[in-house]
Amino acid sequence: MNITIIGCGRWGSFLAWYLSGLGHKVLMYGRKGSMSFEKLKTERKNEYITLSDKIMFTDILSFALESSEIIVISVGAQGFPELVKEIKETLCGNGGKKYILCMKGIVEEGGKRLSEIIGEVLGEDTKCAVWLGPGHVEDFIKGIPNCMLFASKDKDLAKSFCDLFASSLIRFYYSTDLVGCEVGAASKNVIGIAAGILDGLNYTSLKGALMARGPREIARLTISMGGDERSIFGLCHLGDYEATLFSPHSHNRKFGEMFVKGESYDKLAEGVYTVRSLMYLKEKYNVEMPICTSINEIIHEKKKPKEVISSLFLREQKSEF
């Protein structure tokens, strides 16, 4: 297959490496002047991965879109709406393409899921799936396998991607619950920040309680939004906890740890933005979300981390279930 990848960060470069290794013809698109794009283009490597000579590059969006039937997008979630508008203007619609969204986030403005934005801008008939689940580039390139997930309202589309991209390195499952899978994947990053805060405060022992309560909290929101709570206990959320709450490669966990230590962190931690989106959804659907509220208070309201965390875990007595 001819596949275009939009995005040249850690995950985008891995996708190029992985899909090219499966025998697909891969074209990477990056914005002119982007340092990460220029480095990949000229050196064919970044701090994570080395790319083969088979992978092509372009900074012309029209060429990138017209060259492939499948468009894989891996960019920061908050910049996604603007990119989709550019795609529409370039193709005068969805162009009959199949889109795969390989990022985990909810847009701050309006608390919208990424597939929602695709539908609103490119049309509800747009063929779109999200590629979610656990796994770090640093592990994959060492040959360490994992399981991941394709979710789409079109079951046949999701299943076709599972077949097309499966390998001994990644086993895929599929789901038609876009709401649950997208909310679960995005909110997982907020729980990851919480785990990092616990690490930074030397409260790592509380990760067990965090893991027990986190999925219940996100499941309540998912149900209120019309999703299937079972998704939260699958690969998109709970199944991704090891990679996000414990791994040294987790950007969100590392951000939380460094934040409470007063140290800066220069890599993208999507949970920083997602938590504000969750506060919007919390009010919209009138759902109790104590963990996410606490993380928002620490990061965006600048409340003292130790006091907030102590209050979170020392709340009034409640039944576990």
| pLDDT number for residue 94 | 80
Instruction: Give pLDDT tens digits for 277-290.
Output: 999 999 999 999 99
| pLDDT number for residue 93 | 80
Domains annotated for the chain, with CATH where assigned, are 2-176 (3.40.50.720), 179-313 (1.10.1040.10)
- Mean pLDDT confidence for 82-110: 93
Please enumerate in sequence order all residues whose Cβ is within 8 A of that of 48, keeping only pairs 6 or more positions apart, or say none: 10, 13, 14, 137, 138, 141
Number of CB atoms found within 10 A of residue 316's CB: 4
Q: Read off the tokens for 287.
A: 């759902």
| pLDDT number for residue 268 | 86
Question: Does 209 score more than 60 pLDDT?
Answer: yes
Instruction: Give pLDDT tens digits for 135-191.
Output: 999 999 999 999 999 999 999 999 999 999 999 999 999 999 999 999 999 999 999
Instruction: Give pLDDT tens digits for 43-81.
Output: 999 989 999 999 999 999 999 999 999 999 999 999 999
Average pLDDT, the chain: 95
Number of CB atoms found within 10 A of residue 22's CB: 15
pLDDT-based confidence at 320, cuts 50/70/90?
low
Q: Read off the tokens for 252.
A: 């969100």
* CA distance linking residue 129 with residue 132, whole number of Å: 10
Residue bearing the bigger pLDDT, 78 or 94: 78
**Catalytic annotation, residues:** 188
Helical ranges in the chain per DSSP H: 10-21, 35-43, 61-66, 80-91, 114-122, 137-140, 155-165, 178-200, 207-224, 241, 251-260, 271-285, 290-299, 305-313
Q: At what angle do helices 290-299 and 178-200 cross, to 10 degrees?
A: 60
* CA distance linking residue 45 with residue 100, whole number of Å: 23
